[in-house]
Amino acid sequence: MPGRRTRLRDRVLKEKGLLAPGRGAIVPIEDAPTPFVKTTLMKLLEVKHKKSITVLLFANDNIYGTAKVLDISPSVVSRWKKRIRDAYPS
């Protein structure tokens, strides 16, 4: 019988539409190294939307619109955009 953490993880993945049949690691869309560390949620969103996280975050200038499309908090979008901007100095 799976443990509580496993059941919780499976339930969250199912709610986000990312639960693949069978067991296995979720493979991110972009395997190229990035100058910033991707969180698990970033990788999950890449798999779900089939686009890199930078494209997903910067496709819309409005933080609230991006948050609604990705189904995450606007504060998370803001933090991630800052993390990516800091990683790519202009």
Domain boundaries, the chain: 28-87
For helices 74-87 and 63-70, what crossing angle results, to 10°? 110
pTM exceeds 0.85: no
Q: Which residue has the tokens 């690691």?
A: 25
pLDDT in tens, 44-53: 898 888 898 9
Low-confidence ranges of the chain (pLDDT < 50): 28-29
Helices (H) and strands (E) in the chain, counts: 5, 0
**Exposed/middle/buried for residue 45 (C-beta within 10 Å: 0-12, 13-18, 19+):** buried
